[in-house]
């Protein structure tokens, strides 16, 4: 499946759940667009969390809510507040990385 970015007219490959299939296609502008579609206006704290997730993804570190909560970047309670409706799924989609295996 493909979607077209309204910002720069880039065609992005996504899976059936809307996750980018190529994390290198991600840009901060694309993140803002995906977040806006999810009803989230990104703040500096959101961006900090997204950067953490991307760094862990490219290191090959499995992502879990607990790991994010212990990161020092955000508490679990803050994580749920920033990304309502399944914080790890939502934040991973916005961060342009695959849905973590820990998400059902």
3-state secondary structure of 94: helix
What amino acid positions are annotated as catalytic residues? 103
- 96 φ, ψ (degrees, to nearest 5): 75, 25
- Residue with the two structure tokens 């977040």: 35
Residue length of the chain: 104
Q: How far is CA 103 from CA 12, 32, 93, 99, 100, in A?
A: 23, 22, 12, 7, 6
Of 96, 88, 72, 101, the closest CA to residue 80 belongs to 88
């Amino acid at each position: 499946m493909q979607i077209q970015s309204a910002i720069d007219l880039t065609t992005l490959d996504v899976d059936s759940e809307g996750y980018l299939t190529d994390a290198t296609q991600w840009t901060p502008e694309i993140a803002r667009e995906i977040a806006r579609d999810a009803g989230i206006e990104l703040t500096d704290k959101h961006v900090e969390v997204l950067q953490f997730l991307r760094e862990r993804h490219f290191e090959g570190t499995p992502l879990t809510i607990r790991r994010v909560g212990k990161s020092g970047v955000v508490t679990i309670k803050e994580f749920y507040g920033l990304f309502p409706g399944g914080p790890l799924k939502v934040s991973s989609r916005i961060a342009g990385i695959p849905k973590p295996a820990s998400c059902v």
